[in-house]
Structure 1
Amino acid sequence: MSLSLEQLASLTKHFSDSIALEYIQLGFITAFVPTIWPQKWRAGKILFVTAQYPLLTIATFGIIGGDRVYLTLTPNVCRHLALSIAAARKISNISSELVLLLCLHALLGAKWRHLVIMVTVYLGLATASSVMSAEYTTYTLRDLALLTLVILYVRYRGQTGFLIQTIRRDGGLYVFVFIVIRLLSAIVAAFHLNLGYYNYLLNVIGHLQTWGLPILACRLLLNLRRTDDPDIRTRISTIIFDGKSEDDDDEQTAGRQGELELMTPFAGLGRRRA
């Protein structure tokens, strides 16, 4: 039995939602609990949570509103479900972009003037395009991708550290996937009327953007946190995570316990022998 484009699009959506939900539940929760959860609520932990866990809202509400769950949903409930999904998608996308901005900030030497300039330009582009077209991602993410490529190629093409390798692997994959998604989206949009409103290509591209980019951003945070390079811990952890890891504190405590200190002879309460 052959499926129509609408049926194939619906099947693709349900399959991708279920796979993404299982991946988040089984994969990232096991990585999140030992690596991210013990950290303080600083930029790294906040961005990881706001980039990753809105996807649970998208998947759960998408199943409730789009699958056969044998529940009676009023139009008002459906409206609030759609608004919640849109808000969760927006939060996850913005957090993923901020992860990339912080990584660029680290690549540029962790200088605050670079971060202020990048955030100012990013917010300006996002606000202007949102007001004009009610969709901020088109120009903002494109310019952010170009900025990332320029920094990776021009400034760090001759260096080979763990941070650079990680950024090139995961950050480069992040940008590459985004460019491919946008290119495919533009091609499909050009033939939107011919393909119909519901088609599997739009569903594949939309789900890659919804699920793929935040997952790559969170993977980048996990890899940067798990590094054993002390220089990376100094440059990255103080910006994104804690100033010091628990392992560093344990090592310092063990080092202090192993050292012998010369005690001053006791000469009474509040007094020391001269």
Structure 2
Amino acid sequence: MDGHYRKNAKSIEGMIRRASTKEKAAVACSVVTLILLAMRFFITDHDVLFLLAEFVHFVGIGFLAYKLLKHKNCTGLSLKTQQLTAAFLAIRLYCSLMMEYDWHTLLDALTLAATIWVCKMMKTSVRTTYNENLDPTPLAIIVGPCVVLAVFAHPTTRHWWINRVAWATCVYLEAISVLPQLQMMQKARVVERFTANYVFALGVARFLSCAHWILQVFDGKSYLQTALGKGIWPVMVLVSEIVQTGILADFCYYYVLSFAQGDANVHLPV
């Protein structure tokens, strides 16, 4: 049975590898479209998708916690991405407390606490296993442009200006916070399973969050206009969500491919 499974997996892998870039893109778009249509007709409350995305993110951190506690190392893990994650979660938690208060606030608080714990572990208990040379991205290069962009493109709601700018900064930071982690993995080319599980969870969470906002476009109650205001800001939210999903899509492809092959690690191309 195992041999038959591996044979089928290799056959599927061969078909995927032989397909052209256009064919892969067409198949991916078709699958995503079908999933979105299914969500559109079977999920009445689209806000559930956003809650689910936050829950999946929290589960992803659980993989990191197991790795740090059980294996006592943080090999392949980017401290910069964890710090950026903590930053946008802290900002989002502040905005939730100032502008709204719901289940998102609780999930953000739990995820923020877990992320801060991961950062602390990487700086103390497992510091000797952290490869700083593979994680050189200056945080200012990422944070600075996000703040500047937020000043010019932010919600047009009735909340205080500083809170609206903070909210926009959070959205932009979240969109590119995973870049240091992806750069680190690209340099290493081999990603061990627990780190790979975490990044894949981020990819799933980002897809669910992106689906949430895309489906809101078709919401007859004009949710985007009510919650986000008018102007360029709703467009920027959608673009940010799509960028996040696109950034992680390539890794998720190789993750699924490695899983189908039965590999313990994820192997990335040059």
TM-score by structure 1 length? Answer: 0.29
Whose radius of gyration is greater, 1 or 2?
Answer: 1
TM-score by structure 2 length? Answer: 0.29
